Chain A
């Protein structure tokens, strides 16, 4: 039987797949997987074609792979999920992974959203920008409930509040 974490991972996978289909299906082929180990060890041709894939010695809870139909260029979408409230520790982890992989998008989704202390931190623009920023992109944090619904009030950075 699936644990609550496994169930939530599957829910997050479905949510990400739906999101990617909605935004990328016209221009990209889409695969969404739940890796069982480090990304560098995944036996998928798309991963092996990704630049510096051998450096990806870490795992992400859900990974989206989008391949441009026109150029065949591959983009990754990382998603880490938490059944608890999101901590700075988890944001730091995703920040580091994103700097290594430079994914097309990076998400941290949680059943419980952001606790007050992290929410207040992210309201500080400077801290929000350095904690969530990688290259010219930003990690997106959101609360995804057990029905797969996003609470738009919980999305960071706030500029994405109407995107989901």
Chain B
């Protein structure tokens, strides 16, 4: 799923920010190392702390913002949300998406319905998405 999602998210956020945004598969690298070795290293600040391995990361160069997506091929669980929250509390991405090609678990849906605050990191909120093969449907839970 990583490759088509990278392509889709690059397109989606390029439209959103009205500039070229590229997503990368960073699942096998520490993010700080990935940034350091890429062209973004010279542009971004404070990334040395990003010793985390999110699945996909996008960069908005004009505003030096980081976007993040964690991808699962199983129904999303509280554990998956916790993992992404950990990454978000370290890197504070502008957008963070937890996405799967399966519906979230009933537990997760129930908890989000009762307290949407569990999606928060700082003053931002993780989005939950369902990958439908060609696009992400963002779920309004």
List A residues at the B interface (Cβ < 8 Å): 38, 55, 57-58, 88-97, 99-100, 117-118, 120-121, 124, 127, 130-131
Contact = CB atoms under 8 A, between A and B. Distances in A.
Contact of A55 (B82, B87, B111): B111
B30 A117 contact: yes
Contacts of B79: 58, 93
B51 A92 contact: no
Nearest to B110: A57
Interface stretch (B19-27, B58-66, B115-123): B115-123
A131 B118 contact: no
Interface in B112-130: 114-115, 117-118, 121-122
Interface residues of B, number: 24
Nearest to A94: B82
A38 B105 CA distance: 14
A121 B118 contact: no
B99 interface: no
A131 B115 contact: no
**Helix, strand, loop or mixed for chain B's interface?**
helix
A73 to B, nearest CB: 22
A99 B83 contact: no
Interface in B96-115: 107, 110-111, 114-115
B122 A93 contact: no
A124 B49 CA distance: 9
A88 B90 contact: yes
A107 to B, nearest CB: 16
What are the 5 closest A-B residue pairs judged by CB atoms, nearest first?
A: A92-B86, A93-B82, A117-B51, A96-B82, A57-B107
Nearest to A40: B107
Contacts of B81: 96
B85 A96 contact: yes
A82 B30 CA distance: 21
A162 B52 CA distance: 29
B89 A99 contact: no
B78 A58 contact: yes
A91 to B, nearest CB: 5
